[in-house]
Chain A
C-alpha cells in the first residue's frame, strides 16, 4: 500500500501542490452515531486517527502548511460535559504527541496552536504551549491547530492588538491600515490557504478563516472526517490543479 501511495503522490506532484491546505474537520459525532459507538468521545477518537493519516499524506506530498479547525470559539456553547470530553481528549493527544516529539519521532513537524487559548483550562493550555516549544525548531510541515478560534473573534482581537500597539507607538500616525490588522491576526504566521477542505457534506465555512480565503478553492466532501481517506485528498488536490491558472490570475489582480 505504501508503495502504491508513493507512486500516486509522485504522479500528483507533477502538477502544482497547494502551499497551504486548511481542513474543517466536521462529522465526528455523525460518524459515531453511524457506527453505533456509545462513548461520548468515540467519534472524536476516530477523528484523531484521521488527523494522523492526513498529516502523513500532506508530509509525503510536501505541503508546507496545514491548518486544522479543531474547536470553534462558538463550540463552547455546547453541553459542558461534551466540551469537557473534547478538552480531555485533546489534552490526552497533545501529551502523547509531546512524548513522540521528545523521543525524536516528530522531527519534520512543527505544531502551533492559535485561537483564544485563554479559554482553555490551565492544564490544556500548558500542554499546548509545551508542544509548541518542543517542536519549535523543527523544519518540515507546519501544522496550525485552531482551538477556540473563529474569524469574528480573530478580527476583533487583531483590531484590539493593533490599536493597543498604535497607542504605544507615539511616532507613527494614529491611523490603522489593513496591514496593521493582518499582522495581529492569529493566522499571520501562515500564508492564506490555497485549498480549504470541509468534510461532512456541509457547504459553509462556519466562521473559519473567512478573511483569509478570498482566493481559496473551497472544496466540500460528503465523507465524514474520520472517513476522509487518500482518494478524497487526491481528488481535492486534482480539483485545485485544474483551477490553478484561474486562482493565480485572481491573485495577480489583487
Chain B
C-alpha cells in the first residue's frame, strides 16, 4: 500500500498538469477565435464606411419594394438606448423601409412608443394605418412594437379561442378537431386577440449574439435573420449591406429540400 502512494501522487500530479495544459490550450483557442472576430470586425467596419461613402457601386441602389416587412430585434440592454433606436428608425426611413416591427423581449420599447413615434418624423403605429399591406406610395414608416407577450402567450390566448369553439361543437369528446384546428384558424384567432400575423421578410438582430430572443414564433417561418452586432456601434453601411443582400435572396418556401 505504501509503495502505491507515491505512484498515486505522481499520477495525480500528472493529471493536474495535463488538465492545466488542456485549459491553457482551450484559452489559447479562444484567443484565436477572438482575434478572428476582431479582424473580421475591422474589415466589416472598413467596408461599411466605404458603402456609406458610396464607394461600392452595387450598394447604391436597393430594390426596397422586395422588403415589405422588416423586423428589428433588440437585446434588452440596447433597447434602453432609445436615442439609438430612434436613429436606426430614421436610417430605415431614409432607405425607404415602410414597415418595421421593433421587438425586445421585456417590452421596454412598447413603454417608450409614444416618445419614439414623436421623435421619428413621419412615423405612425402600424395598427393605425388600417391597411393590410403598406402601399408603396405611402410616405413615412409604420412601426409595430412587439414583445414576448406577443409570442407564446398570444398563441395560448388564440388557442383558448379555438378551445371554446371546439367545446361548442356538438360532441367535442368524439371530435378530433380537424374542422377547428388548422393553420388558418389559428391565424384568424391570433388576429382576434389583436396580433399581427404578417411574416417579416428580414430580421435584423442588434445584440451580442445571433438569436431571435423570443420573437413571435408563429411569424418567423422563412424570415432571413441577420446579426448586426451592437446597436451602440451600428453603422449605416452595414444596414444598407444587410438589406441589399436580402433583396438578392431567392426564397424557395419549402420547395428545396432541407436534407
Binding site for B on A (CB under 8 A): 10-12, 14-15, 24-26, 28-29, 44, 47, 69-75, 77-78, 82, 86, 150-153, 155-157, 159-160, 162-164, 166-168, 174-178, 181, 202-208, 210-211, 213-220, 225, 235, 238-239, 241-243, 246-247, 250, 253
- Option from B210, B217, B218 in Cβ contact (under 8 Å) with A217: B210
Chain B 245-259 interface 0/1 with A at a Cβ cutoff of 8 Å (1 = within): 000010001111111
Which residues from chain A contact B166 at a C-beta distance below 8 Å? 163-164, 167
Q: Which of A47, A69, A157, A163 has the most CB of B within 10 A?
A: A163
A78 to B223, CA, bound (A): 20
B222 touches A215 (CB 8 A): no
Given contact pairs A25-B259, A155-B155, A181-B155, A10 touches B22 in the complex (Cβ within 8 A): yes
A193 to B160, CA, bound (A): 27
Closest 10 CB pairs of A and B: A74-B254, A214-B214, A160-B181, A14-B26, A210-B217, A211-B217, A210-B220, A207-B221, A159-B159, A160-B177
- Option from A73, A78, A167, A238 in Cβ contact (under 8 Å) with B257: A78
B22 touches A14 (CB 8 A): yes
B160 touches A176 (CB 8 A): yes
A11 touches B258 (CB 8 A): no
Chain B proximity of A244: nearest CB distance (Å): 10
Which residues from chain A contact B213 at a C-beta distance below 8 Å? 214-215, 250
Identity of the chain B residue whose Cβ is nearest the Cβ of A85 in the assembled complex:
B257
Which residues from chain A contact B212 at a C-beta distance below 8 Å? 210, 213-214, 218
- Option from B156, B222, B225, B255 in Cβ contact (under 8 Å) with A178: B156
Given contact pairs A155-B218, A156-B182, A218-B210, A167 touches B173 in the complex (Cβ within 8 A): yes
- Option from A71, A156, A217, A241 in Cβ contact (under 8 Å) with B181: A156
Please report which residues of chain B, range 30-84, place their CB below 8 angstroms from some CB of chain A when the two chains form the complex.
Answer: 30, 33-34, 76
Binding site for A on B (CB under 8 A): 22-23, 25-26, 29-30, 33-34, 76, 105-106, 151-153, 155-156, 159-160, 162-163, 166-167, 172-173, 176-177, 180-183, 186, 208-214, 217-218, 220-226, 249, 253-259
B33 touches A164 (CB 8 A): no
B225 touches A217 (CB 8 A): no
Which residues from chain A contact B151 at a C-beta distance below 8 Å? 214
Chain A proximity of B148: nearest CB distance (Å): 8
A203 touches B225 (CB 8 A): yes
Q: Which of B23, B156, B214 has the most CB of A within 10 A?
A: B156
Chain B proximity of A38: nearest CB distance (Å): 17
A174 touches B224 (CB 8 A): no
Which residues from chain A contact B105 at a C-beta distance below 8 Å? 214, 253
- Option from B152, B176, B254 in Cβ contact (under 8 Å) with A77: B254
Chain B proximity of A142: nearest CB distance (Å): 20
A246 touches B208 (CB 8 A): yes
A25 to B172, CA, bound (A): 40
A166 touches B163 (CB 8 A): yes
- Option from A75, A160, A239 in Cβ contact (under 8 Å) with B33: A239
Given contact pairs A82-B257, A174-B167, A214-B212, A159 touches B186 in the complex (Cβ within 8 A): yes
Identity of the chain A residue whose Cβ is nearest the Cβ of B222 in the assembled complex:
A204
A204 touches B153 (CB 8 A): no
Which residues from chain B contact A242 at a C-beta distance below 8 Å? 30, 33-34
Which residues from chain B contact A238 at a C-beta distance below 8 Å? 29-30, 33
A69 to B257, CA, bound (A): 10
- Option from A11, A156, A211, A225 in Cβ contact (under 8 Å) with B152: A211
- Option from A176, A216, A218 in Cβ contact (under 8 Å) with B156: A176
- Option from B162, B172, B257 in Cβ contact (under 8 Å) with A29: B257
